[in-house]
Structure 1
Amino acid sequence: MALYDSLGATYARTRRPDPRIGARIHGALEGMASVINVGAGAGSYEPERTVLAVEPSRVMVGQRPVGAAPAVRAVAERLPVRDGAADAVMAVLTVHHWSDLAAGVGEMRRVARRRIVVLTWDQRVFRERFWLVREYLPQTVALDDQRAVPVEELASLLGGARVETVPVPHDCTDGFGAAFWRRPEAYLDPEVRAGISLCAQTGEDVIAPGLERLARDLASGRWHRRHAGLLGLAEIDVGYRLVVGNV
């Protein structure tokens, strides 16, 4: 069973594309007449010119909207398309789930005629700057330290890609890991956590004590006093990166 057959059931509700992040991704794909989305999930951030989505999870494919690009159930390491099948290949918050990064990148380079665009994160920055994992859920760091892809390694595999910082807006609509950095109460919602793989894969029993402390700190006002500096910010850099390579 694909990982997101169990973790992805709430994605259509909690992981709605954020237009500002979407603008960054689409800007990197400007001029590309055809796009293949690898690890496509429910179709977030796919431009209209997407010709194929590749996704292993039946549950995720089932949440794709009517009119979305056709989807095939397959893995990044073995893309079921010919060489040079599209101008560009995109991959959004997915490379950390791949079993063989080099094989997956090799397949993207085989399939893309012109460009590869990957949204991922820098684990070192994420660990240092994101209060949730630093103060309340340090157990989740162990998982991400194992699976997170070093951005420098990814850029190297892509042949020297450029790396761009993608700040997270305070009202981000895409409920990934750090999306609620200024809305801490959201992390107490089980449905929100179900759409965040670092919480869902670590396990509710493991993170329960940290969530209880967060609930107490929110109720007492301690969190707001400690993080008063965040409350006036419109966006922050917590490590999310756009990696753009030309083939």
Structure 2
Amino acid sequence: MAIYDTLGATYGRTRQPDPRIAAQIHAALGDASDVINVGAGTGSYEPPQTVLAVEPSQIMIAQRPRQSAPAVRAVAEHLPVGDNAADAVMALLTVHHWSDLAAGIAELRRVARRRIVILTWDQQIFRETFWLVREYLPQAAAFDDTRAIPIDRLAALLGGARQEPVHVPHDCTDGFGAAYWRRPHAYLDPQVRAGISMFAQTREDALAPGLATLTEDLATGDWNHRHADLLALDTIDVGYRLLVTDA
């Protein structure tokens, strides 16, 4: 069973693509005439020239918009297309779910004629800079420690890649891990947490003490006092990175 057959049932409600992040991803794809989206999920950030989405979870495929690119149920490690099948291949917030990273990256390199674009995160930066996991939910960060892919390893498998920081807007519409960094009450919502794999895959009893402390700190104003500097920011860098390489 694909991981998002169980985790992705409400994904379409909380994970709407953010236009500013979309613009950065599409710019990284350059002038590619056709794009394959690997680990495509519900289709977030697919540009108009997407010709195929590859996704292992039927639950996620079922949430794709009707007008989106055709989708096939398959995994990154065995892409069901020929060599040099598209100008560009993109894989967004997905490589940490793959069972064989090296095989998946080899497949991206086989399929892409010109460019590969991967969105991932630097776990060390994320741990050090994101207040939620640093102060309240270290258990979730510990889970991510077991699956996060070191940027250097990923770049090496790609044969070299340039890195672009992806700053998260304060009103980000895509509810991934750090999307609500300036809206702390959102993390108290079980539906929001259900759309974030590091929380959805951490036991609720392990999260409960940290969430209770966050609830209290928000009620007393302690959180606002401690993080007043964040309330003045429009965007933040918590380690999300685009890796871009030419095939």
What TM-score comes out, normalization by structure 1 length?
Answer: 0.99
Q: Which runs of 4+ in 1 moved over 6 A?
A: none
Q: Tell me the residue number matched to 1:95.
A: 95
Aligned ranges for residues 148-227 of structure 1 at < 5 Å?
Answer: 148-227=148-227
Q: Tell me the residue number matched to 2:140.
A: 140
What is the alpha-carbon distance in structure 2 between the residues aligned to residue 18 and residue 154 of structure 1?
Answer: 25
The alpha-carbon deviation at position 222 of structure 1 amounts to 0.4
What is the alpha-carbon distance in structure 1 between the residues aligned to residue 85 and residue 160 of structure 2?
Answer: 22
Amino acid of the residue matched to residue 126 of structure 2? F
Q: Which deviations, in whole Å up to 9, do the C-alpha atoms of 1:30-80 show, x marking residues without a partner? A: 210000000000000000100000000010000000110000000000101
The alpha-carbon deviation at position 203 of structure 1 amounts to 1.9
What is the alpha-carbon distance in structure 1 between the residues aligned to residue 74 and residue 209 of structure 2?
Answer: 37
Aligned ranges for residues 1-247 of structure 1 at < 5 Å?
Answer: 1-247=1-247
What is the alpha-carbon distance in structure 2 between the residues aligned to residue 151 and residue 24 of structure 1?
Answer: 19
Amino acid of the residue matched to residue 31 of structure 1? D
Amino acid of the residue matched to residue 182 of structure 2? R
What is the alpha-carbon distance in structure 2 between the residues aligned to residue 5 and residue 118 of structure 1?
Answer: 23
The alpha-carbon deviation at position 204 of structure 1 amounts to 1.3
What is the alpha-carbon distance in structure 1 between the residues aligned to residue 108 and residue 135 of structure 2?
Answer: 37
Aligned-residue sequence identity (percent) comes to 72
What is the alpha-carbon distance in structure 2 between the residues aligned to residue 201 and residue 123 of structure 1?
Answer: 17
What is the alpha-carbon distance in structure 1 between the residues aligned to residue 143 and residue 78 of structure 2?
Answer: 25
SS at structure 1 position matched to 2:232: coil
What is the alpha-carbon distance in structure 1 between the residues aligned to residue 32 and residue 141 of structure 2?
Answer: 36
CA RMSD, 1 decimal: 0.5
What is the alpha-carbon distance in structure 2 between the residues aligned to residue 246 and residue 156 of structure 1?
Answer: 13
The alpha-carbon deviation at position 205 of structure 1 amounts to 1.6
SS at structure 2 position matched to 1:228: coil
What is the alpha-carbon distance in structure 2 between the residues aligned to residue 203 and residue 192 of structure 1?
Answer: 15
Structure 1 alignment gaps of length 5 or more = none
Q: Which deviations, in whole Å up to 9, do the C-alpha atoms of 1:196-247 show, x marking residues without a partner? A: 0000001212101110110000000000001011000000100000000000
What is the alpha-carbon distance in structure 2 between the residues aligned to residue 4 and residue 209 of structure 1?
Answer: 26
What is the alpha-carbon distance in structure 2 between the residues aligned to residue 140 and residue 66 of structure 1?
Answer: 34
Structure 2 alignment gaps of length 5 or more = none
What is the alpha-carbon distance in structure 1 between the residues aligned to residue 43 and residue 197 of structure 2?
Answer: 17
SS at structure 2 position matched to 1:51: strand
What is the alpha-carbon distance in structure 1 between the residues aligned to residue 36 and residue 144 of structure 2?
Answer: 27
Q: Which deviations, in whole Å up to 9, do the C-alpha atoms of 1:135-159 show, x marking residues without a partner? A: 0000111111110011111111111
What TM-score comes out, normalization by structure 2 length?
Answer: 0.99
What is the alpha-carbon distance in structure 1 between the residues aligned to residue 235 and residue 78 of structure 2?
Answer: 37
Amino acid of the residue matched to residue 188 of structure 1? L
What is the alpha-carbon distance in structure 2 between the residues aligned to residue 172 and residue 206 of structure 1?
Answer: 27
